[in-house]
Structure 1
Amino acid sequence: MLNMAEGLDRLRTLAEGSVVAEVARAFQAAGFELAVVGGPVRDALLGREVNDLDFTTNASPDEILEIVTPISSTQWDIGRAFGTIGAKVRGEQVEITSYRADSYDGVTRKPTVEFGDTIDGDLVRRDFRVNAMALQVPSVKLIDPTGGVEDLVAGILRTPTDPNVSFGDDPLRMLRAARFSAQLGFEIEANTLDAIGRLRETLKIVSPERIQGELVRLMQTDDPARGIRALVDTELIEEFLPEVSALRLEVDEHHHHKDVYEHSLTVLTQAIELEHSRHPDAAPDVPLRIAALLHDIGKPRTRKLEPGGAVTFHHHDVVGSRMARKRLQALRFDGDTTDAVSTLIELHLRFFGYAEGTWTDAAVRRYVRDAGDLLERLHILNRADVTTRNKRKASRLAGAYDDLEKRIADLREQEQLDAMRPELDGNQIQKILGIGPGREIGEAYKFLLDLRLDEGVLGPDVAEQRLREWWAARG
């Protein structure tokens, strides 16, 4: 619950901060208005950490640049066409934008940039009421023309104007609604939610890169499942990630299986909890979180109803991995993220074979080898994938994974698992076999690597003997 007295105290603290105060003095001395705007005001009122400082002013971009140059170490004007000048003041990055009164053509989400005359006009054009507040400085006056404070108190998100107009102007705001709902823990107001459902197809005019950016920001929140639910309930997710809503499989009266959609959201939530507990100071692990959300997307395509009421999803790990790769590439994710997510999905069933029976050391080595630098993420994903309500089964699986991690640690200490290579390199192989570079060297290298995985450290002499025996057997 927002305590307004405490919130106003935090606004005064924000206004009196060294960076804000210095910028405010400079604009006041030049005869212009200045206000901290949007997210910093919202977060200060809520008692959340304020990270980025955004200002708005009645000064033009040229005037802004002239004012901030003497008080900043660096300036950049890459956003000048949109009225924005950036600067670094006392080591902190700030952005200052002229009052805006944009209009949209309804065909693209790029506005026709028009500068406004009043701060109220600037605020009304913003995405949500809780982001349409400003703190005028240095006078420390809260400006709230649309009722943002009331929405903060109520914990709801709604647009400053008719949501049909707001989302029609910029469809990306629909994705932001889901993100802010997850970030702030707020409900999306009913009319706003309905408008998202009606206008979801307008998201087609937004570039994949922009959609990806909002999806990443959503996954960086502490409760992305809340935002995912909003996207699925409004069907907006059908426009860019339909594999998630497809997880809501139909269940007939004769065949029963767990709710894959709810299971996936639970896995996502549990993965974040494990991420925080195992690595409390680390940044949000977006590839891990995406893998947790998508780990079962292969199930709808592989579902088979068996006689007797059983339901199977054979090879859904491999199918899901391919589906995830294709989708992330369409959303223009970078190669490292795409590779990490698809690999984690492909490997996420391996552990359940361990839980059914003790693996050999060779199987443990292969598990580590195949996971590579994704091993810790795979640990978290596999632990999070246990959502059974059967306490005995959950305890057994947790114990099995504890045992697997201990065995990996023991083998790592004994055998340097992180440097999993054959005991002879390519040059040694060529010398021993008396051959030059070619396909046979690669085959010999694979033989020695499999030998290393299956039997552990043998020593170079034994490795050479086994290599000669393998070569002789080839004829």
Structure 2
Amino acid sequence: MNLAASLDHPIFKRIGAVADRLNLKTYVVGGYVRDLLLKRPSKDIDFVCVGSGIGLAQEVARTLGPDVHVAIFKNFGTAQVRFENLELEFVGARKESYRSDSRKPIVEDGTLDDDQKRRDFTMNALAISLNHEDFGELIDPFGGQEDMRKKMIRTPLDPAITFSDDPLRMMRAVRFAAQLGYDIEADTFQALSTQAGRLKIVSQERITDELNKIIASPTPSYGFKLLFHSGLLVQFFPELVALHGVEYVGNRAHKDNFFHTLQVLDNVAKESNDLWLRWAAILHDIAKPATKRYDKDHGWTFHGHEDRGARMTPGIFKRLKLPMNEHMLFVQNLVRLHLRPIPLAKEVTDSAVRRLLFDAGDAIDALMTLCRADITSKNLEKVNRFLKNFDLVEQKIAEVEQKDHIRNFQPPVTGDQIMVMFNLPPGRIIGDIKEQIKEAILEGEIRNDKEEAMALLLKIAAEKGLVRTDDAVREQPNP
């Protein structure tokens, strides 16, 4: 099969011409070829030559112009060239062997065949020649095209060896399956199970990078089910696996919170590409195993799982090497608040809406998306009833916010102003006064307005025996 017509960017013939001049057999390989066949755009292009990849990169950069820089990674035998909006990576063909206690290979020079054998999956082992004599010729020794036609993930060699050599490939298998909607070939999937323990030699950062790509896929539950059934998920995320299972007392059972969580995740994914909102979906019920109780009058309960889950969130983020910044705080806040809008669906009061807006801030829209996604009953009438009630809640939120401006609430009277007005040092009394004003606003006793807040401040001050004068202010003892 010849793909010369598809290699329409001039960079390919320019690199082919340099390769001919250096007498190097050179190929574009891997993900770019796969995406070319899938008709997916790609700006990262990998090149393999039988010889020095670094030397080829340096000569290519020289011909592209004086401002084109080569980044050389001698330890890996690779070089990168950025040109226009492309990132070009060059490497010499090589073969690899591994020790059982490390994923760092022993690398030797090799042939194109050696290089293709070391690749993770047949669809990533495709190569296209760039030399003039056979420009555009597709080299597919392992049936990668046929596997793509079947929508199948398969390793070029024995999958047990492929995954044992580089265990991160197991996460990549699931990631590609999730992204592309492919199946994992039976022997390849079996090897995921037998080699799952090897994942412990891979850094958590690299595992989490693949996990985030699975979470960002169109239907992330598919990837999580593959991780779960293969035994990979328990290797790095036991808290999520602990949600699996149904317990009975007599004929009373709770739902399987693992599969419920995956449904919530998919529901969120239909509405938002926000990775951190998807993480909130994953963690919203994470503390249910720790809070599960059975009561003969009420059945199964999970009281306080939202607060316990919020407390668990930082530890999970830290262990998984997720960012301990505003993203973690966003997820933690949604986990803590995810039950709050539910009572509002039955009785919507201005006060409750103000407090929800105060606590959620800019995350209120994300919180409502999560709450809608959390309705996973098989009873469609019940689902539709809840969704209609949430419509009313969101309408009330919009009305209250327009009137009271509670989102990202800033006190209309600051602590510094109180101290200056009444000549007070920093202390508990300042916080008490601010809290009274905030509560009055949230309860609707006064508007979120400086004039009304100032009037209330003077009233509170009088009750506390604080007197303001034009030139001096002193605290008077109560009579």
Structure 1 length-normalised TM: 0.90
Query: What is the CA deviation profile of residues 295-318 of structure 1, one whole-angstrom value per residue up to 9, with x for unaligned ones?
Result: 212111111122157211111111
With 95-104 and 181-190 compared, the bigger mean Cα shift is at 95-104
Deviation at 1:169, TM superposition (A): 0.8
- Structure 2, gaps ≥5 residues long: 466-479
Deviations 1:275-327 (A, max 9, x none): 2xxxxxxxx31111122122212111111122157211111111222223211
Shift of residue 241, structure 1, vs aligned partner: 0.7
Instruction: Report what 2:459 is aligned to.
Output: 469
Structure 1 window deviating more from structure 2 (361-370 vs 449-458): it is: 449-458
Matched, 1:226 2:222: yes
How far off is 1:197 after superposition? 1.1
Q: Does the 8 Å contact 1:101/1:125 carry over to 2?
A: yes
Residue 52 (structure 2) pairs with residue 60 (structure 1): yes
Q: Offset at 1:472?
A: 4.6
Instruction: Return the offset for 1:55.
Output: 1.7
195, 199, 202: which one pairs with 2:198? 202
Higher gyration radius (CA): 2
What residue in structure 1 maps to residue 473 of structure 2? none
Runs of 4+ displaced beyond 6 Å: none
- Identify the structure with the greater helix proportion: 1
SS in 1 for 2:27: strand
Please tell me whether the aligned partners of residues 268 and 369 of structure 2 are also in contact (alpha carbons under 8 angstroms). Answer: yes
1:125 to 118, 126, 139: 118
Residue 280 of structure 1 corresponds to none
Structure 1 unmatched ranges of 5 or more:
1-7, 276-283
**2:94 — aligned with what?**
100
SS at match of 1:400: helix
- Please report how far the alpha carbon of residue 22 of structure 1 lies from its aligned counterpart in structure 2 after TM superposition: 3.0
CA distance in 1, matches of 2:408, 2:297: 48
CA–CA distance in structure 1, aligned partners of residues 59 and 428 of structure 2: 67
Q: After superposition, where does 1:47-196 map in structure 2 within 5 Å?
A: 47-70=39-62, 71=64, 73-77=67-71, 79-116=73-110, 118-137=111-130, 139-196=135-192
Q: CA deviation at 1:439?
A: 4.1
User: Using the alignment, how far apart are the partners of 2:296 and 2:4 within structure 1?
Assistant: 69
2:34 to 33, 42, 47: 42
Deviations 1:51-104, CA, capped at 9 Å, x for gaps: 422222224143133212221644342533212211112332221222121221
Native 8 Å contact 2:163 2:192 kept in 1? yes
Establish whether residue 332 from structure 1 lines up as the match of residue 321 from structure 2.
Answer: yes
Q: Which residue of 1 aligns with 2:477?
A: none
8 Å CA contact retained: 1:255, 1:309: no
CA distance in 1, matches of 2:300, 2:408: 41
For 1:3, the equivalent position in structure 2 comes to none
Q: 1:461 to 1:309 in 2, by over 3 A?
A: closer
Aligned partner of 1:175: which letter?
Answer: M
Specify the alignment match of 1:314 in structure 2.
Answer: 303
Correspondence list, 1:423-438, <5 A: 423-438=412-427
Deviation, structure 1 residue 31:
2.5
Match of 2:260 among 241, 259, 263: 263
Matches of 2:20 and 2:427, distance apart in 1? 74
Q: CA offsets, 1:7-35, max 9 Å, x none?
A: x78x4444122333333333333322222
Secondary structure of the residue that 1:26 maps to in structure 2? Answer: helix
Q: Secondary structure in 2 aligned to 1:197?
A: helix
> Alpha carbons of 1:427 and 1:105: their partners in 2 closer, same or farther (altered >3 Å)?
same
Q: Per-residue CA shift, 1:156-188, capped at 9, x if unaligned?
A: 112111111111111111111111110111111
CA contact (8 A) 2:58 2:70 kept: no
Aligned counterparts of 1:86 and 1:403: Cα–Cα separation in 2: 55
Deviation of the 1:227 alpha carbon: 0.9
Displacement after TM superposition at 1:440 (Å): 3.5
In the alignment, which residue of structure 2 is the partner of 1:381? 370
1:19 is matched by which residue type in structure 2?
I
Q: 1:433–1:468: 8 Å Cα contact kept in structure 2?
A: no
- The answer to whether structure 1 residue 352 and structure 2 residue 342 are counterparts is yes
8 Å Cα contact 2:32/2:44 also seen in 1: yes
Residue aligned with 1:108, SS: coil
Single out whichever of 187-196 and 319-328 deviates more from structure 2. Answer: 319-328
1:354/1:12 CA distance change after superposition, 3 Å:
farther
Distance 1:212 1:439 in 2: 44
In structure 2, the CA distance between the partners of 1:461 and 1:46, relative to structure 1 (3 Å rule), is closer
Deviations 1:238-265 (A, max 9, x none): 1101122211123325222222222111
One-letter identity of the residue aligned with 1:95: E
Matching residue's letter, 2:24: F
Aligned partners of 1:33 and 1:58 also within 8 Å:
yes
**Compared with structure 1, are the counterparts of its residues 410 and 29 closer, same or farther at alpha carbon in structure 2 (3 Å cutoff)?**
farther
Alignment of 1:414-425 (within 5 A): 414-425=403-414
**Distance in 2 (alpha carbons) for counterparts of 1:161 and 1:429:** 74
Contact 1:34 1:137 in 2 (8 A): yes
SS at match of 2:378: coil
Give the stretch that moved more between structures: 373-382 or 431-440: 431-440
The DSSP-based 3-state class of the residue aligned with 2:171 is: helix
- Aligned CA distance change for structure 1 residues 15 and 28 (closer, same or farther; 3 Å): farther
Which amino acid is the alignment partner of residue 194 of structure 1? Q
Q: Secondary structure at the match of 2:280?
A: helix
Corresponding letter in the other structure for 2:258 = Y
Alignment TM-score, normalising by the size of structure 2 = 0.89
* CA displacement at 1:219 relative to structure 2: 1.2
Whether the aligned pair in 2 keeps the contact of 1:421 and 1:452 (CA below 8 Å) is no
- Label 1:119 to 1:366 Cα distance change in 2 as closer, same or farther (>3 A): same
1:141 is displaced (CA, Å) by 0.8
Partner SS, residue 138 of structure 2: strand
Name the SS for the 2:282 alignment partner: helix
- Could you tell me the percent identity over the aligned residues? 36
Distance 2:227 2:330 in 1: 24
- Amino acid of the structure 1 residue aligned with 2:50: N
The answer (yes or no) to whether the contact 1:19–1:92 under 8 Å persists in 2 is no
> How far apart in 2 are the matches of 1:114 and 1:438?
70
